[in-house]
């Protein structure tokens, strides 16, 4: 169904329809400031299409995997020996002791997945600390729906987008109500002034204020905590939409930073909570995949984990299992260059990731040796689907194959709705790693 949709769209994207599409994309990029540093967030002229039945399948198994993650997070909080498996630092242990005031620490999250050519999909990590990009596809969806080529396409094929801005606000307000205050809240979107994702914050601020909630974008250095209030200048804050990465906040501001102290004193509702540090670690997937921990999950959740989670282990000396077979982990890793990736346990944005199949044998061996002195996981390769996407180059359309990831969005630890898409000519798909493009998701009904 999607292949036919792509071909139909391709047949339409010509002449004035192609020019109109580029014009509207350029105008929308300026309107929303959709730039990552000096480059546009979106550089392609078609949306990502997914059939309704496949979308529903992805959402269903994503929900089961999310349920397993929530069950695991609860066990980690209660069991220090189990928690040792994800290798939290001493500072992170102190952070997760802060009671958030609402049930699910991952009020919003992103399950990063790859769809394969056979109709399946697999998750490779869970971004729960400060999931970015949620609004890129949201705004791009609005821009694309105004394109004449999309309107022409929709005359024959019903398409729909999943609005995300209302869901973010609904989630923040739900956490705030559960947290216990009834006062009409003021919201601070908190991250460093220099981050390249500021355009997303502006989209949020504009929407929150249109719904009647005073909102400011605030650098962590502007926050003050005194008299029982967290403030930025004369602006009293009830809800912090925390977009700053926790590790960077602690590294630059310490555990006595105003935001941490206010959260510890229950003086402000911080979303996502600091407890997501348990769920942000790449080693989480080792606990989801390893049969040694399967007693933590229901049978239905186990089925989804076996379908959707690739083989993952913490890199360390000793024996483990690989699809039921007992192996020496380091020997297996060294011999598995063509099918394994190394990932730092506590980093993000694709930093420090080594893809074995893109290395020489000596480079892979050295990467393993270097990783043994730090906290890393080793994960089995998953298929990455390629699809053709068009870009306007020198006045003409060029269609190139791009690797695609499809990242369902999670809400309040129990719901999965909407998704983001990233495209790249490299198998390492990450906007912060450089290159690539975002694209809106359109469901084909």
pLDDT for 434: 43
Q: Write the CB contacts of 401 (distance below 8 Å, at least 6 apart in sequence).
A: 386, 387, 388, 389
- CB distance 244 to 192 below 8 Å: yes
Q: Where exactly are the structural domains of the chain?
A: 2-280+385-444, 311-380
The domain made up of 2-280+385-444 has a fold known as Rossmann fold (3.40.50)
Q: For the purposes of burial, counting CB atoms within 10 Å of the CB of 118, is it exposed (0-12), middle (13-18) or buried (19 or more)?
A: exposed
pLDDT of residue 174: 97
Question: At 352, is the secondary structure helix, strand, or coil?
Answer: coil
Tokens (6 digits) for 275: 């407890």
Q: Is 266 helix (H, G, I), strand (E, B) or coil?
A: coil
- Read off the pTM: 0.94
Q: Residue 60: how many CB atoms within 10 A of its CB?
A: 12
From 221, 223, 222, 218, select the one nearest 262 (Cα to Cα): 223
Residue 429 has a pLDDT of 52
Q: What mean pLDDT comes out for the span 313-339?
A: 95
Does residue 431 surpass a pLDDT of 60?
A: no
Query: Residue 350 — pLDDT band, cuts 50, 70, 90?
Result: low
Cα–Cα distance for residue pair 312/291, rounded to 1 Å: 11
Q: How much is the pLDDT for 111?
A: 96
Q: pLDDT tens across 380-402, in order? A: 999 999 999 999 887 789 999 99
Q: 311-380 adopts what CATH topology?
A: Dna Ligase; domain 1 (3.30.1490)
pLDDT tens track for 178-189:
999 889 999 999
Question: How many residues are present in the chain?
Answer: 445
Q: Is the pLDDT of residue 206 over 50?
A: yes
Confidence of residue 38 (pLDDT cuts 50, 70, 90): confident
- pLDDT band per the 50, 70, 90 thresholds, residue 2: confident
349 band by pLDDT with thresholds 50, 70 and 90:
low
**Closest Cα partner for 343 from 317, 312, 366?**
312
Is the per-residue pLDDT at 251 higher than 50?
A: yes
Percentage of the residues of the chain whose pLDDT score is greater than 90: 87
Q: How far apart are CA 157 and CA 104, in angstroms?
A: 38
pLDDT at residue 433, rounded to an integer: 43
User: Which range is least confidently modeled, 113-122, 160-169, 319-328?
Assistant: 113-122
Sign for the CA dihedral angle at 214, 215, 216, 222 comes to positive
Alpha helices by DSSP H, 42-146: 52-78, 80-83, 90-96, 136-145
pLDDT number for residue 390: 96
DSSP 28: H
* DSSP E strands, 283-385: 312-314, 319-322, 325-328, 340-344, 354-355, 376-380
Angle, alpha carbons 297-303-309 (nearest 5°): 90
């Amino acid at each position: 169904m999607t292949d036919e949709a792509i071909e139909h769209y391709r047949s339409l994207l010509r002449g004035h329809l192609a020019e109109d599409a580029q014009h509207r994309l350029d105008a929308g990029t300026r309107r929303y400031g959709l730039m990552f540093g000096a480059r546009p967030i979106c550089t392609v002229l078609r949306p990502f299409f997914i059939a309704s039945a496949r979308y529903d399948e992805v959402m269903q198994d994503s929900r089961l995997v999310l349920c397993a993650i929530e069950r695991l997070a609860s066990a980690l909080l209660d069991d220090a020996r189990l928690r040792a498996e994800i290798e939290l630092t001493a500072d992170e242990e102190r952070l997760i002791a802060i009671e958030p005031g609402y049930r699910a620490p991952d009020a919003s999250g992103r399950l990063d997945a790859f769809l394969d050519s056979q109709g399946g999909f697999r998750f490779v990590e869970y971004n729960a600390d400060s999931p970015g990009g949620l609004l890129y596809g949201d705004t791009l969806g609005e821009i694309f729906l105004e394109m004449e080529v999309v309107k022409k396409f929709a005359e024959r094929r019903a398409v729909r987008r999943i609005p995300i801005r209302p869901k973010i606000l609904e989630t923040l307000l739900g956490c705030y109500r559960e947290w216990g205050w009834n006062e009409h809240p003021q919201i601070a979107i908190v991250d460093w002034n220099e981050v390249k994702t500021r355009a997303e914050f502006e989209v949020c601020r504009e929407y929150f204020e249109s719904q009647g909630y005073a909102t400011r974008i605030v650098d962590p250095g502007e926050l003050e905590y005194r008299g029982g209030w967290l403030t930025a200048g004369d602006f009293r804050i009830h809800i912090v939409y925390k977009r700053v990465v926790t590790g960077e906040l602690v590294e630059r501001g310490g555990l006595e930073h105003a935001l941490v102290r206010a959260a510890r004193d229950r003086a402000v509702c911080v979303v996502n909570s600091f407890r997501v540090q348990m769920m942000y670690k790449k080693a989480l997937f080792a606990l989801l995949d390893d049969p040694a921990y399967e007693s933590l999950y229901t049978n239905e959740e186990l089925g989804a984990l076996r379908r959707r989670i690739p083989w993952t282990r913490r890199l360390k000396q000793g024996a483990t299992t690989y699809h039921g077979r007992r192996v020496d982990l380091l020997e297996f890793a060294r011999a598995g260059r063509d099918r394994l990736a190394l990932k730092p346990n506590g980093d993000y944005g694709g930093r420090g990731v080594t893809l074995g199949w893109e290395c020489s044998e000596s480079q892979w061996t050295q990467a393993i040796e270097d990783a043994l002195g730090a906290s890393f996981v080793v994960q089995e390769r998953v298929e990455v689907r390629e699809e053709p996407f068009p870009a306007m180059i020198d006045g003409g359309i060029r269609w190139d194959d791009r690797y695609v990831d499809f990242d369902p969005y999670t809400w309040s630890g129990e719901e999965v709705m909407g998704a983001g898409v990233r495209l790249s000519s490299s198998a390492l798909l990450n906007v912060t790693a450089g290159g690539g493009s975002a694209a809106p998701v359109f469901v084909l009904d």
